[in-house]
Amino acid sequence: MCVYCRPRHTPAGADSVPLSVDELVAVADAAVNCGISRIRLTGGEPLLRPDLPDIVERIGALCPDLEVAVTTNGSLLEGQARRLAQAGLERVNVSLDTLRSDRFEALTGQASLQAVLRGLQAAEQAGLCPVKVNTVVMRGVNDDEVADLVAFSAEHGHHARFIEFMPLDGGRRALPEAMVPAAEIQARIETRFALTPLPDSGSPGDEFLLGTGPTRVSLIGSVSRPFCARCNRLRVTADGCLRSCLFSRTEQDLRPSLAAPDPRQALTAALLAAAAGKPRGHRIGRPDFVRPSRTMFAIGG
């Protein structure tokens, strides 16, 4: 797992008990009851769960129009892509911050770049297309590879997504030193490629076609181009806490709702209340901004 997501040394016992399959499905059922049409299973690393195909299949069975996706670091994807597709998984987001083996190992602590690349190929072969490739751009780390990563995505038919570095990092690096603004990322891409803006689709960030297509490129400017006004996402952590914003400093434990006489009703009420209470903005860059106590790996980005 990348250093900006999880500290190198996590204290023993720091990870809480994760929700069971039945509990996850109950939360998903309440979400569908609220009108939510897309559910994405994130991490940590969701492919570490041996019961992930069962989770995907049971959540997908809740509603015929429900889209179920997974975000993964890709290191285990080669051996699981086909099984997940058979379980009903529709698409996958894979984190890939560099195409250089030395940098990959420095960022993740693992010499597994080739495994991730094989995982991308396995996802394509399993029909989980277009594969979305997520890159967190960091100044002095991988910002010189932006155009190369676009070329890689174009070659393989991926959807390239570039994400600004956010203050949720395990290493607690200073944001101004690490963050490359979306405008600069775009300028780096346009040194080699033409970008054609696409109409606002409600997705986070700005979307483009590479030239006339079909390759898509997204710039997720969470810091410099916040999309809070159109954010429609809620997050449930692996241990069952509901967050209305990635940067929330408060969260609601859903386990009491899961234990209620009518769990579906209690969970639905909690989800609707969280949606109604979403903050106006995350306030990054303002003097009163305070990082959440949990880092990205514990939140599930």
Tokens of 25: 């499905």
Give the residue among 188, 123, 192 at the shortest CA–CA distance from 162: 188
Domain ranges of the chain: 1-7+16-92+231-283
Looking at the domain covering 1-7+16-92+231-283, what would its CATH class be? Answer: alpha beta
Distance CA 166, CA 43 (A): 17
| Token representation of residue 237 | 């952590």
User: What's the rounded Cα separation, in Å, for the pair 5 and 301?
Assistant: 9
Assign 3-class secondary structure to the chain: CCCCCCCCCCCCCCCCCCCCHHHHHHHHHHHHHCCCCEEEECCCCHHHCCCHHHHHHHHHCCCCCCEEEEEECCCCCCCCHHHHHHHCCCEEEEECCCCCHHHHHHHHCCCCHHHHHHHHHHHHHCCCCCCEEEEEEECCCCHHHHHHHHHHHHHHCCEEEEEECCCCCCCCCCHHHHECCHHHHHHHHCCCCCEEECCCCCCCCEEEEECCCCCEEEEECCCCCCCHHHCCCCEECCCCEEECCCCCCCCEECHHHHCCCCHHHHHHHHHHHHHHCCCCCCCCCCCCCCCCCCCHHHHCC
| Average pLDDT along the chain, 301 residues, taken 10 residues at a time | 53 68 98 97 92 98 97 97 98 97 94 97 97 96 97 97 78 67 97 95 88 95 83 92 85 97 98 91 65 64 59
Q: What is the pLDDT of residue 178?
A: 83
Q: What is the pLDDT of residue 13?
A: 43
Contact 91, 132 (CB under 8 A): yes
Closest CA to 80 of 105, 107, 44, 55: 55
- Give me the pLDDT at residue 298, please: 67
| pLDDT attached to residue 201 | 75
